Amino acid sequence: MTLQDNLADYLRYAQVQRGLSENTIASYRQDLQTFLDFLVKEKQNTWEVEAVEIDLFLGKLRDEGKATSSISRMLSSLRKFYQWLLRQDIIKSDPLVKIDSPKQEKRLPLALSEAEVDKLLEQPNIKKASGIRDRAILETLYATGMRVSELINLQMGDLHQDIKLIKVLGKGSKERLVPISNVALSWIDEYDKQVRQKQILKVGSFTDTIFLNQRGGKLSRQAVWQLIKKYCQTAGITKNVTPHTLRHTFATHLLENGADLRVVQELLGHSDISTTQIYTNLTQKHIMEVYRNTHPRA
């Protein structure tokens, strides 16, 4: 079997046996194909390589300006792949056991100011059907801190308007109940009555999915990313904003206004408090700014 055949077999195994998502499989495919291309260029016709050759490959990625997080992801993909190769008796030893993972850079998540959020939320043209939908999307993301993958999978049955909660299906199919603001609920209601229901009737195919594209199907993550980019541009926000930025902003604003870290952990759906603790660096910075601006002898 060729190296390409081995790679194809592994990806099938990862999809069928391990039940990994399409996005994870796509990441593995990209990482491992990059490594395979490197081996081909180095005239290697076997996966049986020395640790020094892995180091050479990682050094090449660093020279190309790849971020530490990207190199760490590549290493993770290679480790899992080489463990599989070893179990399949395709290789006799695993060179990755001699490779240390790079130290992660402590990068603070980007967050918008309250003024920037206000400006962003005002951008959709609510005289248009798409504008009403987009305003409801932005309000929902900022009100709940949910991930985009969670937003696009929301169903009307997940809304509990009477108690102002929304059921969110997070990573690992874990459900959580998240409070949602009156403002966000009113925009979802406006969108449902003025746009969504008419769209469903026009398409002639019922769906319980809340946010729909122009064809009446489920929105893609890319579509949400694009609309946020568009509205940031029209709002004059020059920060590199992604859908995840609104999640970071949600958490940051809660903590800056006195929310408990454990509560924010629950709202975000983090299984480990250490994942949430990165936001304390942001709020510590905010505390220092308030101190310097308000204390007479600061």
For 90-145, what is each residue's pLDDT tens digit?
A: 999 999 998 887 765 555 678 899 999 999 999 999 999 999 999 999 999 999 99
Those residues with Cβ within 8 angstroms of residue 100's Cβ, 6 or more apart along the chain or in another chain: none
**Mean pLDDT value of segment 157-167:** 94
What is the torsion angle, in degrees rounded to the nearest 10, for the CA atoms of residue 201, residue 205, residue 208 and residue 210?
Answer: -60
Give residue 70's pLDDT band: very low, low, confident or very high (50, 70, 90).
confident
159 compared with 174, residue with greater pLDDT: 159
Active site residue 28: no
pLDDT digits (tens, 9 = 90+) for 181-201: 999 999 999 999 999 999 999
Q: Which of 171, 230, 239, 262 is catalytic?
A: 171
Active site residue 147: yes
Q: Tell me how far CA of residue 35 lies from CA of 104, 182, 276, in angstroms.
A: 21, 50, 33
pLDDT band per the 50, 70, 90 thresholds, residue 287:
low
Residue 22 banded pLDDT, cuts 50, 70, 90? confident
Active site residue 279: yes
- Considering only CA atoms, which of 229, 231, 146 is closest in space to residue 181? 146
Compute the distance between CA of residue 207 and CA of residue 43 in angstroms, rounded to an integer: 53
244 catalytically annotated: yes
Q: Does 295 participate in catalysis according to the annotation?
A: no
Asked if 247 is an active-site residue, the reply is yes
pLDDT score of 137? 97
pLDDT above 60: residue 288? yes
Give pLDDT, residue 285. 59
- Catalytic member of 147, 174, 196, 262: 147
Q: Active-site residue among 133, 196, 247, 248?
A: 247
Set 167, 218, 244, 286: catalytic member: 244
Kindly tell me if the per-residue pLDDT of 62 is higher than 60: yes
pLDDT at 298 over 60: no
Average pLDDT, the chain: 89
- Res 284 pLDDT > 70: no
pLDDT at 24 over 60: yes
Q: What is the mean pLDDT of residues 222-248?
A: 92
Give the per-residue pLDDT at 189: 97
pLDDT score of 118:
96
Residue 30 has pLDDT above 90, yes or no: yes
| Residue 11 phi, psi dihedral angles, 5° rounding | -65, -35
pLDDT value for 114: 93
Ranking 92-96, 117-121, 159-163, 291-295 by mean pLDDT, the lowest is 291-295
Q: For the chain, which domains are there?
A: 3-98 (1.10.150.130), 114-294 (1.10.443.10)
When pLDDT is averaged across residues 67-77 and rounded to a whole number, the result is 88
Give percent of the chain above pLDDT 90. Answer: 58
Q: What is the pLDDT of residue 18?
A: 86
Q: 157 falls in which pLDDT band (50, 70, 90)?
A: very high
- DSSP β-ladder status, 159-160 and 175-179: unpaired
Return the pLDDT at 84.
95
